[in-house]
């Protein structure tokens, strides 16, 4: 694990390198209100820095719809449709059914299903955790029936989520923060691990980056969250992850950019 001074040195050297080419931000939320005042500028910064595609992930009915609209407006934005476990506390069954139908009806415009999963960090109540699992099972079944990759949100429940999806072929663990052991189990099953820009300030995530298979690694910002420096995150910051992972692995940043882009295109069947 890098200590604080080593991590700072790596980040400083990384920020001095030239722009990279062909980078894909594999998970972001550009439809969120944090971008309402300057969304076009955010997209321009990403594109000019070398980010060629951004995958926008829905978390509920409203964000699914907004994600679809973004994908129609910008040909460099792709969409996954889902429902975060953190949106389930107050949702009624009729609303849940409406959301599931929305996903199914618009699945032809999506490259994946999710984010969806389990969040034991925010949810401590046993009954609510059980409901998360029940809803997640419905989303798992949908992804399987639609033959689309499943994008998993799992926090403090990575192993539990993995146990539920072991029969699936195409799985992405978005913003992975779990143990090395669970990550290895997921990798052994051919699943993909997506690391977010909080790698720039997290020793645990730097350990994950050192040990993950490069053939199954994706990179993301989870914008507007998980900024490498605090404050609002945005897709251009994914380059900081690329450069830091390159330093950690002893590789050129462009090699990391190219490999993670190839992986993203493979799992989502995009060009």
Is residue 89 scored above 90 in pLDDT? no
Give the three-state DSSP class for 237. Answer: helix
pLDDT score at 97: 97
Q: For the segment 102-123, what is each residue's pLDDT rounded down to a tens digit?
A: 999 999 999 999 999 999 999 9
Residue 218: pLDDT band with limits 50, 70, 90 = very high
Q: For the segment 119-142, what is each residue's pLDDT rounded down to a tens digit?
A: 999 999 999 999 999 999 999 999
Q: For the segment 155-193, what is each residue's pLDDT rounded down to a tens digit?
A: 999 999 999 999 999 999 999 999 999 999 999 999 999
pTM: 0.92
Counting residues of the chain whose pLDDT is more than 90, the rounded percentage is 91
pLDDT score at 101: 98
Is residue 9 scored above 70 in pLDDT? no
Alpha helices per DSSP H over the chain: 4-15, 39-49, 61-73, 93-105, 126-146, 158-165, 180-188, 203-211, 238-249, 253-268
Residues 6+ apart with CB under 8 A from 150: 112, 113, 114, 116, 139, 140, 143, 144, 165, 168, 170, 171, 172
Which residue from 72, 150, 74 is spatially nearest to 117, judged by alpha carbons? 150
Q: What angle do CA 55, 113, 232 make, to 5 degrees?
A: 40
Q: What angle do CA 49, 254, 5 make, to 5 degrees?
A: 85
Is residue 204 scored above 90 in pLDDT? yes
Residue 3: pLDDT band with limits 50, 70, 90 = low
Rounded Cα distance, 151 and 52, in Å: 21
Which residue from 201, 112, 96, 94 is spatially nearest to 149, judged by alpha carbons? 112
Mean pLDDT of 54-79: 98
The domains located in the chain, with CATH, are 4-268 (3.20.20.140)
pLDDT score at 195: 98
pLDDT score at 179: 98
Is residue 60 scored above 50 in pLDDT? yes
Q: For the segment 14-28, what is each residue's pLDDT rounded down to a tens digit?
A: 443 468 999 999 999
């Amino acid at each position: 694990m890098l200590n604080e001074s080593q991590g700072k040195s790596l980040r400083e050297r990384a920020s001095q390198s030239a722009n990279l080419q062909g980078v894909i931000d594999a998970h972001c939320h550009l439809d969120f209100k944090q971008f309402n005042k300057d969304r076009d500028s955010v997209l321009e910064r990403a594109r000019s820095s070398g980010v060629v595609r951004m995958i926008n992930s829905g978390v509920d009915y409203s964000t699914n719809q907004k994600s679809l609209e973004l994908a129609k407006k910008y040909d460099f934005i792709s969409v996954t449709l889902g429902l975060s476990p953190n949106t389930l506390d107050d949702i009624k069954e009729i609303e849940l059914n409406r959301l599931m139908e929305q996903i199914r009806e618009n699945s032809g415009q999506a490259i994946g299903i999710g984010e969806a999963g389990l969040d034991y960090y925010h949810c401590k109540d046993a009954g609510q955790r059980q409901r998360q699992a029940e809803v997640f099972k419905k989303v798992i079944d949908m992804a399987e029936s639609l033959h689309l990759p499943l994008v998993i949100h799992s926090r403090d429940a990575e192993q539990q989520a993995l146990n539920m999806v072991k029969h699936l072929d195409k799985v992405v663990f978005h913003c992975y923060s779990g143990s090395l052991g669970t990550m290895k189990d997921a990798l052994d099953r051919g699943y993909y691990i997506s690391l977010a820009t909080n790698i720039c300030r997290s020793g645990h995530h730097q350990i994950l980056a050192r040990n993950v298979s490069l053939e199954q690694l994706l990179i993301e910002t989870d914008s507007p969250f998980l900024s490498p420096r605090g404050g609002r995150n945005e897709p251009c910051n994914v380059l900081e992850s690329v450069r830091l992972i390159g330093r950690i692995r002893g590789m050129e940043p462009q090699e990391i950019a190219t490999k993670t882009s190839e992986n993203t295109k493979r799992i989502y069947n995009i060009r």
